[in-house]
Structure 1
Amino acid sequence: MPLTVLSRSQLRTLLHSLSRDEVVDLQRNLAEALREYSSGSQDKGCSAAYQPQRTAITRHNGCTTLFMPASTGNTIGIKMISLQDGAVAGCAVERGAIEAQELEQALSRKRGSFRNSVASLSSDLSDLSVGSSQEDKEDQEDDDNSVSPSVTTGSSADSSTLLTGCVNQQNVTGSISTTHGAWPGAGTRDTSPRGSVTLLDGESLPFALINAHELTAFRTALASLMMFNKRKKVRTLLVFGAGTQAYWHIRLALVLRGEDIRRVYIVNRSFDRAAEVLRDIYSPENAEWRRDIKFSAMSSEFGEYGRILKEHVRKADAIFCCTPSTEPLFPAEFLTSREGRQKGRLICAIGSYKAHMTEIHPDILRDEVNVQPPHRHFHKHIHRSGVIVVDSLDAAVKEAGEIIQAGIKPNQVVELGELLMVRDATRQAETVDEEKSLREWSQRGNVIYKSVGLGLMDLVTGGDLVRLARERKLGTTVEDF
Structure 2
Amino acid sequence: MPLTILSGSNLRELLHSLTRDEIRTLQRNLSEALREYSTGAQDKGCSATYQPQRTAITRQNGCTTLFMPATTGQTLGIKMISLQDGGVAGCQVEKSGYDGNESDSGSRRRASNRNSVASLSSEMSDLSVGSSQDDGGSVSPTVTTGSGGNSSTDSSTLLSGCVNQQPVIANVSKTLGAWPGAGTRDTSPRGSVTLLDGESLPFALINAHELTAFRTALASLMIFNKRKKVRTLLVFGAGTQAYWHIRLAMTLRGDEIRRVYIVNRSFDRAAKLLRDIYLPENSDWRGDVKFSAVSSDFGDFDRILKEHVRKADAIFCCTPSSTPLFPAEFLTSREGRQKGRLIVAVGSYKSHMTELHPDILRDEVDIQPPHRHFHKHTRRSGVIIVDSLDAAIKEAGEIVQAGVKPNQLVELGELLMVRHATLNEDGQSEEKSLVDWFEKGNVIYKSVGLGLMDLVTGGDLVQLARARNLGTTVEDF
**Structure 1 residues 272, 114: closer, same or farther in 2, change over 3 A?**
closer
CA contact (8 A) 2:213 2:244 kept: yes
Shifted more, 259-268 versus 98-107: the winner is: 98-107
Mapped to 1, the partners of 2:416 and 2:429 lie a distance apart of 17
- The amino acid across from 1:65 in the alignment is T
Give the alignment of 1:18-29 within 5 angstroms. Answer: 18-29=18-29
| Aligned mate of 2:442, from 443, 446, 453 | 446
CA RMSD of the aligned region, Å? 2.3
| Aligned mate of 1:402, from 379, 398, 405 | 398
CA contact (8 A) 1:196 1:210 kept: yes
The aligned counterpart of 1:205 is 201
The aligned counterpart of 2:4 is 4
| Aligned mate of 1:384, from 354, 374, 380 | 380
Mapped to 1, the partners of 2:339 and 2:104 lie a distance apart of 34
**Structure 1 residues 105, 281: closer, same or farther in 2, change over 3 A?**
farther
The aligned counterpart of 1:64 is 64
Q: Deviations over 1:72-121 (max 9, x none)?
A: 0000000011234455543222456x763799988535537855543321
Percent identity for Structure 1 against Structure 2: 78
Mapped to 2, the partners of 1:58 and 1:88 lie a distance apart of 6
| Aligned mate of 1:195, from 191, 195, 213 | 191
Mapped to 1, the partners of 2:360 and 2:57 lie a distance apart of 35
CA contact (8 A) 2:234 2:316 kept: yes
Shifted more, 122-131 versus 32-41: the winner is: 122-131
The aligned counterpart of 1:51 is 51
CA contact (8 A) 1:12 1:214 kept: yes
SS at match of 2:222: helix
* Pairing 1:145–2:158 present: yes
- The amino acid across from 1:135 in the alignment is Q
Mapped to 1, the partners of 2:260 and 2:202 lie a distance apart of 41
SS at match of 2:158: coil
Shifted more, 316-325 versus 123-132: the winner is: 123-132
CA contact (8 A) 1:41 1:112 kept: no
| Aligned mate of 1:226, from 206, 222, 233 | 222
Q: Deviations over 1:113-171 (max 9, x none)?
A: 85554332111112222233x232x224445324242xxxxxxxxxxxxxxxxxxxxxx
Give the alignment of 1:28-427 within 5 angstroms. Answer: 28-95=28-95, 100=99, 107-108=106-107, 110-111=109-110, 116-132=115-131, 134-136=132-134, 138-143=135-140, 144-146=157-159, 147-149=162-164, 189-377=185-373, 379-427=375-423
Q: CA deviation at 1:31?
A: 0.4
CA contact (8 A) 2:261 2:292 kept: yes
- The amino acid across from 2:185 in the alignment is R
Mapped to 1, the partners of 2:252 and 2:133 lie a distance apart of 22
**Structure 1 residues 243, 388: closer, same or farther in 2, change over 3 A?**
same
- The amino acid across from 1:44 in the alignment is K
- The amino acid across from 1:400 in the alignment is A
The aligned counterpart of 1:165 is none
Q: Deviations over 1:216-256 (max 9, x none)?
A: 00000000000000000000000000000000000000001
Q: CA deviation at 1:2?
A: 0.5
Q: Deviations over 1:149-205 (max 9, x none)?
A: 2xxxxxxxxxxxxxxxxxxxxxxxxxxxxxxxxxxxxx9833321000000001000
Q: CA deviation at 1:424?
A: 1.9
The aligned counterpart of 1:177 is none
SS at match of 1:358: coil
Shifted more, 139-148 versus 270-279: the winner is: 139-148
Q: CA deviation at 1:66?
A: 1.6
**Structure 1 residues 118, 58: closer, same or farther in 2, change over 3 A?**
closer
Mapped to 2, the partners of 1:384 and 1:478 lie a distance apart of 54
**Structure 1 residues 101, 260: closer, same or farther in 2, change over 3 A?**
farther
**Structure 1 residues 317, 102: closer, same or farther in 2, change over 3 A?**
farther
CA contact (8 A) 1:38 1:110 kept: no
**Structure 1 residues 80, 437: closer, same or farther in 2, change over 3 A?**
same
CA contact (8 A) 1:131 1:343 kept: yes
| Aligned mate of 1:477, from 470, 473, 477 | 473
Shifted more, 37-46 versus 310-319: the winner is: 37-46
Mapped to 1, the partners of 2:387 and 2:105 lie a distance apart of 14
SS at match of 1:4: strand
CA contact (8 A) 2:163 2:270 kept: no
Mapped to 2, the partners of 1:117 and 1:84 lie a distance apart of 36
**Structure 1 residues 476, 104: closer, same or farther in 2, change over 3 A?**
same
Q: CA deviation at 1:284?
A: 1.0
Unaligned runs of 5+ in 1: 150-186
Q: CA deviation at 1:351?
A: 0.5
* Pairing 1:464–2:477 present: no
Q: CA deviation at 1:69?
A: 0.4
**Structure 1 residues 314, 104: closer, same or farther in 2, change over 3 A?**
farther
SS at match of 1:414: strand
Mapped to 2, the partners of 1:103 and 1:307 lie a distance apart of 50
Q: Deviations over 1:324-362 (max 9, x none)?
A: 111100000000101000000000000011111100011
**Structure 1 residues 116, 327: closer, same or farther in 2, change over 3 A?**
closer
CA contact (8 A) 2:163 2:271 kept: no
SS at match of 2:422: helix
Mapped to 2, the partners of 1:280 and 1:339 lie a distance apart of 35
Mapped to 2, the partners of 1:360 and 1:409 lie a distance apart of 17
**Structure 1 residues 427, 284: closer, same or farther in 2, change over 3 A?**
same
- The amino acid across from 1:76 in the alignment is L
Q: CA deviation at 1:400?
A: 0.3
CA contact (8 A) 2:113 2:411 kept: no
**Structure 1 residues 477, 325: closer, same or farther in 2, change over 3 A?**
same
Mapped to 1, the partners of 2:211 and 2:271 lie a distance apart of 23
**Structure 1 residues 440, 268: closer, same or farther in 2, change over 3 A?**
same
**What is the TM-score normalised by the length of structure 1?**
0.87
**Structure 1 residues 433, 405: closer, same or farther in 2, change over 3 A?**
same
